Amino acid sequence: KAKNRSIQDDRWKLIYIPTYNGPVYQLYDMKNDPYRDVNALYPEIVEALRQKLEAWIQSSPLDS
């Protein structure tokens, strides 16, 4: 069963949403505009946070 996941740092929040057509990522700038998805504007931030999130999911002893 797939679950939504998220990762956040001081400025950015990345949300991973699994779908039947593949994952969807939403990126929010929590300091400047926390309600607008800006993933298309910052693909490098999406990728960096996606890699960190994936590493955490793979290493988590909890039901991931």
Residue 64 lies in a domain: no
Residue 21 lies in a domain: yes
Residue of 49, 60, 61, 62 lying closest to 23 (CA atoms): 49
Q: Judge whether 5 and 53 are in contact, CB under 8 Å.
A: yes
Residue 35 lies in a domain: yes
pTM for the model stands at: 0.86
- pLDDT for 62 equals 63
Residue 19 lies in a domain: yes
Domain extent for 17? 5-59
- pLDDT for 52 equals 96
Overall number of domains in the chain: 1
Residue 41 lies in a domain: yes
Residues 5-61 have pLDDT tens digits of 999 999 999 999 999 999 999 999 999 999 999 999 999 999 999 999 999 888 876
Residue 13 lies in a domain: yes
Residue 9 lies in a domain: yes
